[in-house]
Each structure stands twice: as C-alpha cells, then as structure tokens.
Structure 1
Amino acid sequence: MPSYKELLAQREELEKQIEAARSKEFDTVVADIKQKIEFYGITAADLGMGAKSKTAEKRPRNSVAPKYRDPKSGATWSGRGKPPRWIAGKNRDEYTI
C-alpha cells in the first residue's frame, strides 16, 4: 500500500494532467458551442441566461393592505418589513386601522 506522501504526489501529478487535458479541450469545446449557437440562432434568453423568464414577467404582484396609519402624516404601513420611524418601538395598537 502506498504511503500518504506517495499518494499526495500522485494526486498532484493527476491534478496537473487534469488541468492540461482541460486546457487542451477547452478551445475545441468553445468553438463547437459557438458554431452551434450561430447555426441554430440560439440566444442567451433561450438558455435562460441574462434575461428574465416570461413567467416571471407575467406574474402579478399582490399588494398587501395597510394595517397601521400614522394619524399625524397619514402614512400607512402593512406590518411587513422594517417598521417606519413613526411606529418603531411604539405600541402598534394605537395605530391600527
């Protein structure tokens, strides 16, 4: 059975071989991909990259009804997220709509 030191040396040699093989194949693979993109007219949106999907654009956002109102300014807050200054640290029952 090989020693720990020998196994580390083998791993280092394998990592060098892996990187060399990757470097050698990289240009060929990129050229092949570019050729197919050009031939088929593939866009970044087709691949789901760079552009929002159509389903995300069509999804409506529901607004939340306000639960609290500032009697001085008339400002409202839904109770979600960071509380505004006018209600922060105060009893919220006094501001309930």
Structure 2
Amino acid sequence: MATYQELLAQKADLEKQIENARKQELSDAIAQIRSLMSQYGLSVADIAGKAGSGGKASATKGSKVAPKYRNQATGETWTGRGRQPKWVEQALASGKSLDQLAI
C-alpha cells in the first residue's frame, strides 16, 4: 500500500501530465483553426461574428426598442420589457389596462 507522501507525489506528477496534455491539445486546436482560417480566407472578425454573419441574436443585441406605453400626464414611456415602472403599476392599480396606456 502506498504512503500518503507517495500518493501526493503521484498526484503532483499527474497534475503536471494533465497540464502538459492540455497545453498540447490547445496548441493543436489553435494550429488546426489557423489552418482552416487560412484555407477558407477567414478573419478573426468572421469567427467572432462581427463581419455581418447574419446571426439574428447578434444583429439585435444591444439595439434600442421602441416604447409601447406612455404616461399621458408626464410623457414617460416604457418599452414593455423588464420591470414595470411605478407609473404603470399605479395606473394598473387604479383600474386602467395596458391597452389604455399603449402609444
């Protein structure tokens, strides 16, 4: 049966082997990616999706949404996304509907 110190030494050796294997696999993966990028004439921007890849999520991410509801008294607006503003909550509590607040 192995002693505690021997097991710790084995663990340290295995961790080194794991790290070396990881580095080698990452290096191989990067080389393969660079080869494919060269073969197909791709750039980093193409890979990152910043060159107009047409992806729906990236095309709408960060874009402004038009307001759907307006407070007639103050002119405040709300897009209908996220938490309801206090003026919407108060209007709904007073018996109004969202349809009545719609722009």
Normalising by structure 2, what TM-score? 0.48
Q: Percent identity?
A: 35
Instruction: Establish whether residue 73 from structure 1 lines up as the match of residue 45 from structure 2.
Output: no
Distance 2:26 2:68 in 1: 56
| Greater fraction helix | 2
Distance 1:73 1:13, change over 3 A: same
Instruction: Establish whether residue 82 from structure 1 lines up as the match of residue 71 from structure 2.
Output: no
Distance 1:88 1:27 in 2: 53
Q: Which runs of 5+ in 2 are unaligned?
A: none
How many residue pairs are counted as aligned between the two chains?
89
Bigger shift: residues 32-41 or 74-83: 74-83
Distance 1:13 1:77 in 2: 60
Q: 2:90 is paired with a residue of what secondary structure?
A: coil
Equivalent residue number for residue 9 of structure 2: 9
Correspondence 1:21-32 to 2 at 5 A: 21-23=21-23, 25=24, 29=28, 30-32=30-32
Q: What is the CA distance between 1:10 and its match in structure 2? A: 0.5
Normalising by structure 1, what TM-score? 0.50
Q: How far does the alpha carbon of each residue in 1:8-36 deviate from its partner, in whole angstroms, 9 at most, with x for none?
A: 2211111123334444x369624454233
Indicate the RMSD between aligned Cα atoms, in angstroms.
4.0
